Amino acid sequence: MADYHFDVDIQQKMPLGQIVCGDVFYTRRIKEEGRVILVLSDGIGHGVKANVLATLTASMALNYSSLHTKPDIAAHIFMRALPRSRDGKESYATFTIIEIEVDGMVRIVNYDNPPTLIFRNGDFFAPREIEVNIRGAENVGKILRIREFKPIKGDRIIFMTDGVVQSGLGGKRYPMGWGLDQVREFVQNQIARENEISATRLSKKILNQAAMNDLFELKDDTSCGIIHFRQPREFMLITGPPFYKIKDFEFVKRITEFPGKKIICGGTTAEIVARELDLEVQIQHRYYEAAIPPVADMEGFEMVTEGILTMGKVEEILESYTSDTRLGNSPPEEVVKLLMEHDIIHIIVGTRINWAHQDPDQSMDLEIRKVVVKRIVRLLEERFLKNVVVELV
């Protein structure tokens, strides 16, 4: 089992005036096989047409990769499925498929997107690349470029669409476009300045530079994704008291022995922990909203919040979260920030019923705790590729 976690982030920008992005990014975690698949596709042209082509390509690439279909066969199938324009010309989308297996092997399949950049120990790393012809008489000359390697802690993979390398095209500084060599040098300099730079921060820097190259009016859909293999960060979220009151001491002991950051979502749960550890819960009034009670401080915990209302709001934020989301300082947003910052998330769910939430006149937002947690876990695992461990007590 690999001793690292991989942090993934992608940033995307559209040309001025476009309402949908012609680049599409999909991910899928296959827990039973310990495998994660990422696909970035760039549809020809701009706008809705490009988005449709990229969506078809990315979804089919994801599905065929999930079924272990050989890349040249899969590419042949979904290229035939893409619609042709009225004049009979071929419509297509480029793609990059990245598969990460539990034993640490990584496979990168690239068709017409800029080559991925891999960095190891701060330096450019170029594993052996093989070329495979896409099957079918209509695909003569179309080549897949495939790389396989075993990553180590600290490695970074940078994948992108041609909006990055072609930024600045026709301008004074980069008349031939920014170019892959310049991108590589830029990334290397950023890593040298900040060795632990996060995937989010690095991808934003690359995309911001691409926008600057085009004087902040991008001419093409532009996407840049980063995979960073690093030491995992662990976090614990506790919500709800244990089913049996006699288990309170063991419950609190389990929490206090956890070495990472931790928060409590639930007033009753916080009272149990405070009582067992002889601590004070101090309400903070730095945030006020009628629907969400304020946070509290307690020694040894990042924060203490109300339970079911806060968790329900956390689910809403995660459901609509994108690379453009800017989080504020409300209790649910603070919880989401902590979830995003960590990789292995332990959620302890107390199963004692809170009778205050059984009133039939209560809002439907007051869902049963376990249902809300289940939805949050699904989002964290599927959309944000977090490792989540749930424990019912």
The full set of domain ranges for the chain reads: 5-230, 234-392
Instruction: Select from 99, 126, 111, 116 the least CA-distant residue to 6.
Output: 99
The one-digit pLDDT tens for each residue of the chain (393 residues) are 567 788 899 999 999 888 899 999 999 999 889 899 999 999 988 889 899 999 999 999 999 999 999 988 888 888 787 776 555 556 678 999 999 987 779 999 999 999 999 999 989 999 999 999 888 777 778 899 999 999 999 999 999 999 999 999 988 899 999 999 999 999 999 999 999 899 999 999 999 999 999 999 999 999 999 999 988 899 999 998 887 788 888 889 889 899 899 999 988 888 889 988 888 888 776 655 667 788 888 999 999 988 888 898 999 999 998 877 888 888 899 999 999 989 999 999 887 765 554 554 443 333 467 889 999 999 999 889 899 999 888
Residue 239 three-state SS: strand
Residue listed under structure tokens 């594993």: 127
Give the bridge partners for 237, in sequence order: 263, 347
Distances in Å between the Cα of 185 and the Cα atoms of 7, 176, 179, 210 are 22, 16, 10, 14
Q: Is 59 left (phi over 0), alpha (psi -120 to 50) or beta?
A: alpha
d(CA 104, CA 35): 10
Instruction: Select from 160, 162, 169, 165 the least CA-distant residue to 214.
Output: 169
**What is the pLDDT, as a whole number, of residue 181?**
95
pLDDT in tens, 269-321: 888 899 888 888 887 766 556 677 888 889 999 999 888 888 989 999 999 98
d(CA 109, CA 146): 5
Residue listed under structure tokens 């068709």: 111
The CATH number that domain 5-230 falls under is: 3.60.40.10
Instruction: Select from 81, 21, 25, 80 the least CA-distant residue to 49.
Output: 21
Instruction: Select from 269, 252, 250, 296 the least CA-distant residue to 351.
Output: 269
Let me know: does 281 contact 296? Beta carbons within 8 Å: yes
Distances in Å between the Cα of 68 and the Cα atoms of 1, 18, 37, 156 are 21, 36, 11, 24
Q: Angle CA(51)–CA(27)–CA(222) in degrees, nearest 5?
A: 40
d(CA 29, CA 100): 10
Mean pLDDT over each residue of the chain, to the nearest integer:
87
d(CA 115, CA 157): 10
Distances in Å between the Cα of 349 and the Cα atoms of 263, 333, 352, 372 are 12, 20, 9, 11
**Token couple for 226:** 């980063």
